[in-house]
Structures are given as structure tokens and as C-alpha cells.
């Protein structure tokens, strides 16, 4: 049962982070992560997760999770909040200090907390500073690379 729970989390993460258009492609992603799963099991998992397909025009369809479009819209709002208050970021080990405009640290921390980034362990906000703690083994540069995927014009 534990492996199933872990596999379901992996499926959700893969679908969120990639345009997966077939079960074969999804099986490939899962195998890359070390899951040995049959197509029948994957089909049951997709049904359990209520995964749907969304048209991407002439390029066919891709898998999406329930409420995913609303989540993406919400994430865009958080990104805008982050950009409004962000000034700079600096790391020492797995701890980052995010400088913000005065009074914006709460909204920047909330934005970071809600961007669904696995690298983040947690945040603490003051008035113009956010302490950002990354998960063990994640470097500041790795985090910034992922953050730039969401916010391409991010300055350090």
C-alpha cells in the first residue's frame, strides 16, 4: 500500500510538471523514477486520481489533474505577488534569505509556499525579509533554476 501511495504522488507530480499525452509516456517517466508498473495498474491509478485529458489543439491531448486549471490560475496570481515584492535572494547552505520591499515579506512567503515546489521545506516572513529553508540536499542554485522555470525574468 505504501508503494501505491508513493506512486500516486509521483504520477501527480509528473502530470503537473510535464505535458504527458499517453499512458506509454507516463509509464516511461515512472520507470525512469524506478517504478515497475503495468499498464493495467497505471490505468487504475489514473481512474482513481480522476485524471482527465485536455485538448492542445492540433497536438492532440495531454493528461490533467482535477482542478489543475484552477490551480495554475492561482499559481499565476502567486507569481505576480512574488514579483511585486521581490528584491533579491541569497543562500548559505540550504537556507535562503529573500529580500522584499517593505511590507511585502508575508505575500512573498505565501507565494513561495503555494508554488508547489518540492525543494522548499518552509518559509518564515518578517517585514522585508523571508527566511527560506530548502530540503536536505537541495542547493540554492538548484532551487533558483526551478524558480526561473516559473519566473524566467527573476533577478538575483
Which segments in the chain show pLDDT lower than 70?
1-2, 68-71, 156
- The pLDDT assigned to 76 comes to 80
Instruction: Return the beta strands (E) in the chain as ranges.
Output: 52-55, 61-64, 86-92, 95-100, 120-125, 129-134
In whole angstroms, what is the distance from residue 106 CA to residue 153 CA? 21
- The pLDDT assigned to 145 comes to 94
- The pLDDT assigned to 102 comes to 95
- The pLDDT assigned to 68 comes to 67
- The pLDDT assigned to 67 comes to 76
Facing residues of 100 across strands?
A: 86
Same domain, 75 and 143: yes
Same domain, 84 and 48: no
- The pLDDT assigned to 156 comes to 65
- The pLDDT assigned to 41 comes to 94
Q: Tell me which of 48, 64, 80 is where a domain ends.
A: 64
Inter-residue contact 108 to 81 (CB < 8 Å)? yes
Domain containing residue 124 = 69-150
- The pLDDT assigned to 98 comes to 98
- The pLDDT assigned to 2 comes to 59
In whole angstroms, what is the distance from residue 46 CA to residue 78 CA? 28
CA 108-112-114 angle, 5° bins: 115
Same domain, 54 and 126: no
Same domain, 56 and 109: no
Count Cβ atoms within 10 A of the Cβ of residue 49 and give its class: 0-12 exposed, 13-18 middle, 19 or more buried: middle
CA 59-32-56 angle, 5° bins: 15
Whether 81 is covered by a domain: the verdict is yes
Residue 154 cell numbers, joined: 527573476
In whole angstroms, what is the distance from residue 89 CA to residue 144 CA? 9
Same domain, 131 and 80: yes
Amino acid at each position: 500500500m505504501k508503494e501505491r501511495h508513493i506512486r500516486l504522488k509521483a504520477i501527480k507530480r509528473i502530470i503537473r510538471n510535464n505535458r504527458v499525452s499517453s499512458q506509454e509516456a507516463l509509464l516511461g517517466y515512472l520507470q525512469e523514477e524506478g517504478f515497475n508498473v503495468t499498464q493495467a495498474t497505471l490505468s487504475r491509478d489514473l481512474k482513481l486520481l480522476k485524471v482527465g485529458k485536455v485538448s492542445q489543439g492540433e497536438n492532440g491531448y495531454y493528461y490533467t489533474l482535477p482542478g489543475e486549471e484552477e490551480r495554475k490560475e492561482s499559481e499565476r496570481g502567486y507569481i505576480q505577488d512574488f514579483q511585486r515584492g521581490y528584491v533579491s535572494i541569497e543562500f548559505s547552505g540550504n537556507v535562503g534569505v529573500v529580500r522584499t520591499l517593505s511590507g511585502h515579506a508575508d505575500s512573498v512567503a505565501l507565494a513561495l509556499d503555494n508554488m508547489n515546489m518540492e525543494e522548499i521545506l518552509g518559509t518564515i516572513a518578517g517585514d522585508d525579509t523571508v527566511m527560506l529553508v530548502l530540503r536536505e540536499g537541495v542547493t540554492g542554485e538548484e532551487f533558483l533554476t526551478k524558480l526561473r522555470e516559473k519566473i524566467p525574468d527573476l533577478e538575483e
